[in-house]
Amino acid sequence: MHKPTLILLMLAMAPAAGATTPAGQLAEFAAAARSESPGFKGFSAARGERLFSQKGSDWSCASCHTADPRAAGRHAVTGKAIEPFAPVANPKRFTDAAKTAKWFKRNCKDVFSRECTATEKGDLLTWLTSLNR
């Protein structure tokens, strides 16, 4: 394989640069939200905070991430330690789009018995990124 072809192949396989930051992931959620709902008018930190506290079947996000997502949490069933959810307290949060997708899918199903919409994901991330130390 020629060197230019290999470089192009590697670039094509790399994740989008914007998806490696909370702002980049918000942009991706916004595009998906517009696709899901043409009337999408933007994300809401207030809706995100409500979603975080909303009890699904038996749990809410706060059940494991604590009422203050800037604090470390603990899984409600396994007891496994969970690093702070808010990017201000844990700069690694929302820096890997694949991990974000994996955890949203798993946790929304655990809490709400369904996948979260792009708007819900964006609302939650908008609220989390609005938090200060």
The string over 33-55, giving b where at least 16 C-beta atoms fall within 10 Å of a residue's C-beta and e elsewhere, is beeeeeebeebebebbbebbeee
At residue 3 the predicted structure's pLDDT band, cuts being 50, 70 and 90, is low
At residue 2 the predicted structure's pLDDT band, cuts being 50, 70 and 90, is low
Name the average pLDDT for the chain.
87
What residue has token string 């899918």?
Answer: 105
At residue 57 the predicted structure's pLDDT band, cuts being 50, 70 and 90, is confident
**Residue 17 CA to chain centroid, in angstroms?**
16
The whole-angstrom separation of Cα 44 and Cα 126 is: 7
Q: Which CATH architecture has domain 20-130?
A: Orthogonal Bundle (1.10)
Domain residue extents for the chain: 20-130
At residue 10 the predicted structure's pLDDT band, cuts being 50, 70 and 90, is very low
At residue 22 the predicted structure's pLDDT band, cuts being 50, 70 and 90, is very high
Using alpha carbons, list the distances in angstroms from residue 103 to 37, 73, 96. Answer: 23, 15, 11
Q: What is the pLDDT of residues 24-55, one digit of tens each?
A: 999 999 999 999 999 999 999 999 999 999 99
The pLDDT value given to residue 58: 86
Q: What is the pLDDT of residues 100-120, one digit of tens each?
A: 999 999 999 999 999 999 999
Where would I find the H helices in 16-132? 22-36, 45-53, 62-65, 97-112, 118-130
Residue 103 in tokens:
């955890």
At residue 130 the predicted structure's pLDDT band, cuts being 50, 70 and 90, is very high
| DSSP-assigned beta bridge partners for residue 82 | 73
The whole-angstrom separation of Cα 92 and Cα 57 is: 29
Contact (CB, 8 A) for 30 and 122: yes
The whole-angstrom separation of Cα 43 and Cα 29 is: 9
